[in-house]
Structure 1
Amino acid sequence: MLHNKSFMRKTKSGKVLKVVREHYLREDLPCGFVNCPRCQPILEENSQMIKLQTLSPQAQRLLVVDTNVVIRQIDALEHPKLMDVVIPKVVEEEVRHLNTKTHSRLRAIIDNKEKKFFLFDNEHHRETFVERLPGETPNDRNDKAIRTVALWYGSHQLLPVILITNDRLNKEAALAAGVNALTVLEYANEIRDSLPEWTDMLVVGQDQEEQNDAFTKKTEYPEHKSKNETEAGLKAGRYYQGPLRMNRDNYTEGNVPVEGLEDEILIQGLQNLNRAVNGDIVAVQLLPKEQWSRPSMRAVQKIEDNEDGEGVSEKDQNLMEEMRPSGIIVSIIKRNWKPYCGTIDSGSNGSQALFVPVNRQIPKIKIHTRQMENLKNKRIVVSIDAWDKNSKYPSGHYVRTLGPVGDINVETEVIMIQHDICYHPFTESVMNCLPSPDWIAENDPDFKNPTRRDLRHENICSVDPPGCTDIDDALHIKTLPNGNYEVGVHIADVTHFVHQDSAIDKEAAERSTTVYLVNKRIDMLPKLLGENLCSLRSNVDRFTFSVVWELTPEAEVVSVDYFKATINSKASLTYEQAQMRIDDKRLHDDISVGLRKLNALAKKLKQRRLDAGALELASTEIKFIRDQESQEPLDVEMYQLRETNSMVEEFMLLANVWVAEKIYESFPNFAILRRHPTPPKKNFEPMIDAAGKIGINIEVESSKALAESLDRAVVPKDPFVNKLLRILTTRCMTQAVYFSSGSVARDQFAHYGLAAPIYTHFTSPIRRYADDIVHRLLGCCIGVYTLSMDIDNNRITKLCQNINFRHTMAQHASRSSTELHTVVFFRGRVLQEDGYITRVKTNGFSVLVPKYGIESMVYVNTEEDSKDFVMDKITHQIKSVSLGDVAIGLMNKVESLLSSMHLNGNRFVWRSRSMRTESHCV
């Protein structure tokens, strides 16, 4: 059936045109449930064409929900026991336009067959399509369409139908039309016996929240400026905009970096923070210069340490730093609220509770719950709903329970949620993009493509960490007749399987990276690709994107070639196995000889980079030996680096540099590159100060000067000092980021740490989405791909923003996983090891224990300690009054007793025998 929709449109010239659009309506669209008698004839004719849903065995009603319910109550809709729900197409479309994240979550619910949600296309069904009447608002028309859907489903007499809406007018209109309509809270009361926790998951109205607030309102925050006032203030230069970054040691202090300002704006005290939370985009008003302050030198152990948080006393300020531009937050431009993990405060009782987030940058959250006893000593998830100006804490709602505090799997899930890791299973639409598990290279049409070279005869091998299954890269080398070498870097051809804008491509773009935790890996791509068809395993044919150079014996590049290939790796080696082949001179097979040649060239490539000013930094990377059954850590050891690690790294760096040059040459306005900005000199001040305390001078005028200073920074009696300085230097670095070449000036492309004028990532497409974009751009450069019309600077910039965020979160999650397993390792153990002091605060100091990669604060402001320890404002040392000259300062070596670690607070005991005292490290 064809339905014409017409409307009048005014052109720029003032003429009025009548626009007629054709809208097709169908009579053969069933309600979607296989056991509907009314739709049976349609189902019999179209069963292969229509996606159907069965009702749950315990189904007692059908729910139809409106758009506001989906937007506000998506957490409640995700409850696994909430089933048999109809989502009208008009609702799905509205949600898509209003909130893309919520729309993605809604689509995931609909795609989950266990949830029994059905998306009904009411807009193309003759009986449910609703015409918009003259003078009727789009919202009123959509509400009428939703009511029509509820009536239509009621006529099928499958089950009683309930329309869930919090819109008073919509509910009244539904009841008048004979539709059973309830608010979300009314429906929650009806199912209270079967789903008692569902009420806790609801986002309640602010009026109800205030009526039931049992917590004393000690705080009245300033009113936020209106949107118009904020925009006017930003335009006039009275306000500044930027993201709030909370101090990791002090939740009452944060900084707002502002584009165009050299210094970040310091925000101190809860009043000045004005209900902003970490990550919010805020508008800031600068205080008069005489009210500027210095960053705090105090570390907050827990929220109760400074509940009022009003400013910082002089004794707690970092008096070695200059006054910083300081300000107050006048409005929140964009909230960064997300689900938070934590526990119920032990002092909570009744139906109201304070939720304490694991992330100490987030304030406590008020929630209402009927599950108080069940939630104690459990990790739960809570979302913030609002923060009234009269309320000391934000209000929120319970989302779900993860499990008992201390369970390693529960704590791992906490890490993933806290770092916004996409760890949901791959959807059916993603899995449908995969090739057959029986895929064979020779049977693929592209195998015979003349642009794909057959290199299966070459002595290609891979070198990776032990247990690596997602092998991205492989190498080969052979001597040419002229005495030069042909060296090839072969990278998994992921984009052969992951086509642009497909479901799997969109999922990979969202995830952006594979996340490596101690006890699990969250893949960017399904295992069929990552561990099988794309992984360059030995003795199987695999597709690659290859870069091949002719190099002189001095590792100078004579020529370079880029092409797609088919390879058959002759060996999949670990770093240790490759090192043994290199070192064992008795081995003269092609692979061993080739590895020795590659290693010799790699050393020359590395020396050339170091001569140019590349930095050799360090980290506290460790690895765990785990029990095969329980997965709990049995032992900890420092990660050992070999020459073969460096060998592989050098050729990957070489490939990345040359590919960067190639794609930038072809696409100067939207090549995806990676840069590492030069750190401001002030970033190095803590490290320079620390080195100066032990008589070492560090130069930071250039990366080369810094590298040479670090090479000279040797203390013969303590070899670890050099590594410690390199660790501290790493913390002075700015973050390396992906960017579009059209958004940054050419002189800002450089990678400071690598001393490279231009750089990108090409070599890990299985685990990094940036590399896949680079593969597509390089493919366009050599003519194997066609440039997509919508690839431009704006699209690449948006992709880079998400990739940078996901990359950072993955790094933080990995570190948190290491810390978690360290905590588990120390349960019930008492070990004594050397430690080094890396930071000093007015009330404590941070100790790094190299053997275990542990670094944490030792607080000396306990009741018994406070009279004994004082902070020297000049030297920034904590001195013991009772022990005379004994002082704690940067780079000091201490003996530490590690024990009693537990997950609820990550606490261990530190004891310095030389100081004869004990403090708790949290």
Structure 2
Amino acid sequence: MAAQGRGGLRSSTFNTAPEGGNDFQRRGPGHARTGSRNYEGNWRTQGQSQDQPTNVGQTQGFQPGHRSRGSVNQSMSAIGGFQYNPGQAPVLPLAGQMMMPQMYNQQLNPMQISQLQALQAAQMNSQQFQGLQGSQHAGQLGGPQQQQQRKTLFTPYLPQATLPALLGDGQLVSGILRVNKKNRSDAYVTTLDGLLDADIFICGSKDRNRALEGDLVAVELLDVDEVWGQKREKEEKKKRKDITDTRSGSINQGSQAAGQADENNPPEGAIRRRGSLRQRPTQKKNDDVEVEGQSLLLVEEEEINDEQKPLYAGHVVAVIERVAGQMFSGTLGLLRPSSQATKEKQEAERAAREGGNSRSNDSRQQDKPKIVWFKPTDKRVPLIAIPTEQAPRDFVEKHQDYADRIFVACIKRWPITSLHPFGTLVEQLGRMGDLKVETDALLRDNNFGSDEFSDAVLRSVGLQDWSLAQEDEAAIASRRDYRDEKVFTIDFNGSAELGNAVHVTSRPDGKIDIGIHVPDVTHFVKPNSLVDREAKKRGTAVHLINRFCPLLPPKLSGEVCSLVPGEERLTVSVVFTVNPVNGAVAEGDSWVGKSIIKSGGKVSLADIDKALTDASTYDNTTVPVNTIQILQAVAQKFREARLGAGSEPIAPLRLLQQLDDENQLVQHNIFDSTEALELVEELMHKANSYVAQRLAEGLPDKALLRRQAAPNPRRLQTFVERMTALGYDIDASGSGALQNSLFKVEDADLRKGMETVLLKSMQRAKYFIAGKTPKVVWPHYTLNLPLYTHFTNPTRRYADIIVHRQLEAVLSEGKIEFSDDMENLVKTVELCNTKKDSAQNAQEQSIHIESCRTMDKKRQEVNGDLIAEGIVLCVYESAFDVLIPEWGFEKRVHCDQLPLKKAEFRKEKRVLELYWEKGVPSSAYVPEDERPKAAASMRMSNALAAARQAEEAERVKKEREEAARKQTVTGTISTDDVDALFDDDEDDTSDVTEAMAGASLAERPTQSVPGSPARSTSNAGTLHRTRSDSKVPIAEAVETRLTNKEKYLKLFTLREEGGDYIQDVTEMTRVPIILKTDLTKSPPCLTIRSLNPYAL
């Protein structure tokens, strides 16, 4: 049993036993692979030959990307089912009294032996899962004998004890796994410290082998061509299946309701191509709505295709560590919304048609299920099986009442015989739509627990009546005293946590001293204290638009370590002596050390903006206006020197800046910035950069630094080519040159659009340890600095606390030792990276929720469509991406949601031609597969399936209620995918898609959309509902159309040819966009449609 990892969910804590060993004679674990070559080379030495025979006792590695798809998994299963007799090859005795043959005189390598041992151990312990897990699969296996031989769906993990040797000699590589949000069958592993020059592609859920987003995994490299061939085969099969499912028009393909389509016309929902316009399957639509609609910016993984295959491919053989404290918000459902639920519905329908009795349904109705199903909000996470006793007491009887409740769950184990993990229900947060509940949910999804500190932590702080007089006199005397300087505190957001102060002093030689002061947190937070451990666990404070989650208890962050005006405080200061003419700081003219300050006043960012834009409105009496103006002039010189800027004004590039640090002042629009914010951040960059230099010199091995990798070369090149084709001069020779190219774009909205496209090629900055990382990757790309760290915010970032401790050791010149060992330091850095990214994600999600609520209010005020101008960022065959500068959102317009005859994509000129239906407003258009007829067919099947589970009288009553309900709904009920694990795999237990799950929206509590018609029909902005024009009086509608025509017609590029009404959509042009919000989802959804210029 391995030790606890980051999240306490070590791979070896998962039970991975199949029910019976004989199953491996029939089918190997994981992929059904053919015979393995079992090459034993080393991936670090790609030139070695693989064809030489391997002698007994030799153990070599293998080469990256060249192991056959028939890898160790099939070899293991073949050996497990091998029938030994005296005429066969010799047998090797292994631990645990196992016997393993030497097949074909080939020596097994250590990894194969370890994997076989894990598999045999799993088999011997399989009986302990006969309870909870066995009950869930009994219905799929068909009998007691089959239940004992349950299929092994995943490969057992290699023992943790074997991993160091396998990683050390190159047989495995390790890295952090991430799952593609848009296509969760694809995943990628980024190797630690840039060991490989590209990510490892993981194809499918079986190769991902139960690993989750953010896990540190061990990966065996596979042959890229074979993996890619398998991916193409799966995608082709899925396309064929999507066509079959969609054309059925009904959940039951054999039902007569589905078979009544006119043979001369394509069935409703059939996938058709109209020019380049492709109709997405309903399932894909629903995925896109939630993935794209519930985030500020679109997330796109590296494009992979036949021309641009991944450089590496592999499969996960072990989870080394899981994300600490991993929790998921979501909804709770009674049935697994595929497989078993579908079978029950189909049995009920068949019984209804045949007029027979369904005893199996009756018995199932009486049996209380042993598990219920938790559907995470994050679509990258699979369904989680929860013991029924953990659900609310009345959940089984009244599960529909909980359809709009948000719960929190965590994963406890994931057997190799189960498609889904087993977990624990942690808490019930409350109803969807409640702002506090939604905020709690996003915090849990990003692995942040309660805002409150435990009583033990609060008591351990002490410092009830702290004052400077209580400190040791000798320690005070060793600090620089700035109490007589004109120090003032900067107030970012009006909170009690005041973490930065500045002073400006003119020198007789004409130079200026600029001091930057931050609280001396490490003086009060000692290593491994209770407060320190709590701060390390939190990693960072979280700034949300309506909430703040602190890093430190309020006694520290809001009092003792808050630079309150009029109070003496212990600080760490960086002081620069600056030439005001050119902003130069001569060597030797900088100082850093411990200090004491007494702030004489406080200035807000709004005050600074007044001083810089209109001094006559500046009314802060504690800080002279000329002091702020001096700081602005110096900061401008710092920025010009850092970016190599010329005479052009330096525009804020907030998206790029947020790749390093989230905003302390949270705005509704992520592009919003002020001169004050840019000024203060530039001063902090200067201090952080100087401290990084001191750490790199004084602690060359252990220095905690921060870097940002250069952009993805291919994506950056694509960006340059596209912008150049549009007439913009883009110099991508370096970070400064690239940013200066954007500064020259005068139109602020177009510049934001370019910044958004450029962001797709960039990565977030990361903390790293100097001695563990090659110097060539130390620079921070966006900031254009060779060395950088985080020093200036120890009250909100735990990494800054570590930096302060390291700086203290460096400044002591050997008197104080930085005692953290390298292994613990590396783990701390990885935790800080994870928490930093999580805080950024949480902040963006908070802005998204608040913006959707604001949009919905504004839509109600205008009593019609909410329309905004968008900048076209990228065009595709059947869609185009837009940025909405007014709101700071990036969304995708899907052409199959528009009233189009067809679309044509001219790739060479990057123009998307839209052939519009004249007179059909986009907001009122309902796609064919979402029209009432298809919905009626689905509801009829659902009603039949539910009716057979009750008495005849109840059945008739339900049919009448269903018929009445149909008359009130004009659009189709959107389905949602729930088989969040094996959607792309061929396992027969997961072949049924969510579109065929056989449960209506009201019967499916695991849906993120509540099932009550009363709630759903009140939301006129939902993409999958028909908006009725009768809600607006005709006279008002005419006036609105005229107004829209006057406003927006000039934005279109239109033409008429042969009776067709055509709009040309090109990149970096403006188009009017209809915004639709759906607050019934959790989190809320924002979807968009392009305005039809021929319906204005």
Change (3 A) 1:673 1:849: same
628, 653, 662: which one aligns with 1:595: 628
Q: Specify the code of the residue in structure 2 equivalent to 1:477.
A: V
Change (3 A) 1:292 1:917: farther
CA RMSD of aligned residues (A): 4.1
3-state secondary structure, aligned to 1:244: strand
- Quote the sequence identity (%): 26
Change (3 A) 1:365 1:434: closer
Aligned residue for 1:355? 374
- Residue 880 in structure 1 maps to residue 923 in structure 2: no
Asked if structure 2 preserves the Cα contact closer than 8 Å seen for 1:463 and 1:578, the reply is no
TM-score (structure 1 length as normaliser): 0.68
Q: Give the alignment of 1:766-785 within 5 angstroms.
A: 766-783=795-812
Deviation at 1:424, TM superposition (A): 5.2
What are structure 2's unaligned runs of at least 5 residues? Answer: 11-127, 143-149, 236-277, 289-301, 342-367, 390-394, 659-665, 860-865, 917-1059
Aligned residue for 2:331? 343
Asked if structure 2 preserves the Cα contact closer than 8 Å seen for 1:494 and 1:765, the reply is yes
Deviation at 1:615, TM superposition (A): 9.9
Distance 2:282 2:824 in 1: 43
Aligned residue for 1:912? 1090
Asked if structure 2 preserves the Cα contact closer than 8 Å seen for 1:513 and 1:806, the reply is yes
3-state secondary structure, aligned to 1:471: coil
Asked if structure 1 preserves the Cα contact closer than 8 Å seen for 2:913 and 2:1065, the reply is yes
**Structure with the largest fraction of helix:** 2
- Residue 568 in structure 1 maps to residue 598 in structure 2: yes
Q: RCO higher in 1 or 2 (8 Å CA, sep ≥ 6)?
A: 2
745, 753, 756: which one aligns with 1:724: 753
Distance 1:885 1:809 in 2: 44
- Residue 833 in structure 1 maps to residue 864 in structure 2: no
Q: Specify the code of the residue in structure 1 equivalent to 2:777.
A: Q
Aligned residue for 1:605? 638
678, 689, 694: which one aligns with 2:710: 678
654, 661, 667: which one aligns with 2:699: 667
208, 220, 224: which one aligns with 2:155: 224
Distance 1:384 1:590 in 2: 54
- Residue 292 in structure 1 maps to residue 326 in structure 2: no
Change (3 A) 1:479 1:274: closer
- Residue 331 in structure 1 maps to residue 302 in structure 2: no
Deviation at 1:743, TM superposition (A): 1.6
Deviation at 1:465, TM superposition (A): 2.5
Deviation at 1:803, TM superposition (A): 1.0
Deviation at 1:760, TM superposition (A): 1.6
Aligned residue for 2:213? 278
Asked if structure 2 preserves the Cα contact closer than 8 Å seen for 1:489 and 1:548, the reply is yes
Distance 1:99 1:246 in 2: 20
Of the structure 1 ranges 436-445 and 388-397, higher mean CA displacement relative to structure 2 is found in 388-397
Distance 1:412 1:322 in 2: 40
Aligned residue for 2:839? 810
378, 384, 402: which one aligns with 1:365: 384
Distance 1:756 1:248 in 2: 32
Asked if structure 1 preserves the Cα contact closer than 8 Å seen for 2:156 and 2:416, the reply is no
Aligned residue for 1:212? 136
- Residue 851 in structure 1 maps to residue 886 in structure 2: yes
Distance 2:281 2:495 in 1: 40
Change (3 A) 1:839 1:412: farther
Asked if structure 2 preserves the Cα contact closer than 8 Å seen for 1:299 and 1:844, the reply is no
1:190-210: per-residue Cα shift (whole Å, max 9, x none)? xxxxxxxxxxxxxx9464322
Deviation at 1:399, TM superposition (A): 3.0
Distance 2:6 2:202 in 1: 31
Asked if structure 2 preserves the Cα contact closer than 8 Å seen for 1:286 and 1:327, the reply is yes
Distance 2:764 2:828 in 1: 17
Deviation at 1:837, TM superposition (A): 3.6
**Structure with the largest fraction of strand:** 1
584, 588, 613: which one aligns with 2:615: 584
Of the structure 1 ranges 502-511 and 234-243, higher mean CA displacement relative to structure 2 is found in 234-243
Distance 1:796 1:252 in 2: 34
Change (3 A) 1:516 1:216: farther
Q: Specify the code of the residue in structure 1 equivalent to 2:225.
A: K
Asked if structure 1 preserves the Cα contact closer than 8 Å seen for 2:563 and 2:599, the reply is yes
Change (3 A) 1:575 1:305: closer
Change (3 A) 1:914 1:346: farther
What are structure 1's unaligned runs of at least 5 residues? Answer: 1-93, 105-203, 308-315, 623-632
544, 569, 573: which one aligns with 1:517: 544
Asked if structure 2 preserves the Cα contact closer than 8 Å seen for 1:459 and 1:591, the reply is no
Aligned residue for 1:245? 178
Q: Give the alignment of 1:439-588 within 5 angstroms.
A: 439-446=466-473, 449-554=476-581, 555-558=583-586, 559-582=589-612, 583-584=614-615
Change (3 A) 1:222 1:786: same
1:793-843: per-residue Cα shift (whole Å, max 9, x none)? 434322211111111111111111111112222335422111234455666
392, 396, 409: which one aligns with 1:382: 409
Change (3 A) 1:427 1:789: same
Q: Specify the code of the residue in structure 2 equivalent to 1:684.
A: L
Change (3 A) 1:660 1:445: same
Distance 1:707 1:846 in 2: 23
Change (3 A) 1:500 1:332: closer
Q: Give the alignment of 1:606-755 within 5 angstroms.
A: 606-611=639-644, 617-619=653-655, 640-688=672-720, 690-692=722-724, 694-714=726-746, 718-755=747-784
1:769-815: per-residue Cα shift (whole Å, max 9, x none)? 22222222222333399534623443432221111111111111111
Of the structure 1 ranges 681-690 and 586-595, higher mean CA displacement relative to structure 2 is found in 586-595
* Count of aligned positions: 703
3-state secondary structure, aligned to 2:655: coil
TM-score (structure 2 length as normaliser): 0.58
Deviation at 1:607, TM superposition (A): 1.3
3-state secondary structure, aligned to 2:437: helix
Deviation at 1:306, TM superposition (A): 8.7
1:396-415: per-residue Cα shift (whole Å, max 9, x none)? 34333211122111111111
Distance 2:556 2:841 in 1: 26
Deviation at 1:915, TM superposition (A): 5.5
Distance 1:841 1:240 in 2: 36
Q: Give the alignment of 1:415-426 within 5 angstroms.
A: 415-423=442-450, 425-426=452-453
3-state secondary structure, aligned to 2:185: strand
1:622-681: per-residue Cα shift (whole Å, max 9, x none)? 9xxxxxxxxxx9x95677533332322222222112222222222222122112222231
Deviation at 1:433, TM superposition (A): 3.1
Asked if structure 2 preserves the Cα contact closer than 8 Å seen for 1:292 and 1:326, the reply is no
Distance 1:834 1:758 in 2: 40
Asked if structure 2 preserves the Cα contact closer than 8 Å seen for 1:823 and 1:903, the reply is no
Aligned residue for 1:406? 433
Change (3 A) 1:331 1:852: same
1:453-506: per-residue Cα shift (whole Å, max 9, x none)? 332221111233241331111111111122222221111111121122211112
Q: Specify the code of the residue in structure 2 equivalent to 1:208.
A: L
Asked if structure 2 preserves the Cα contact closer than 8 Å seen for 1:265 and 1:327, the reply is yes
Q: Specify the code of the residue in structure 1 equivalent to 2:1090.
A: S
Distance 1:260 1:436 in 2: 46
Distance 2:443 2:282 in 1: 23
Q: Give the alignment of 1:135-214 within 5 angstroms.
A: 205=129, 207-213=131-137
Deviation at 1:419, TM superposition (A): 0.6
883, 897, 913: which one aligns with 2:1074: 897
Asked if structure 1 preserves the Cα contact closer than 8 Å seen for 2:704 and 2:770, the reply is yes
Change (3 A) 1:319 1:286: closer
Aligned residue for 1:762? 791
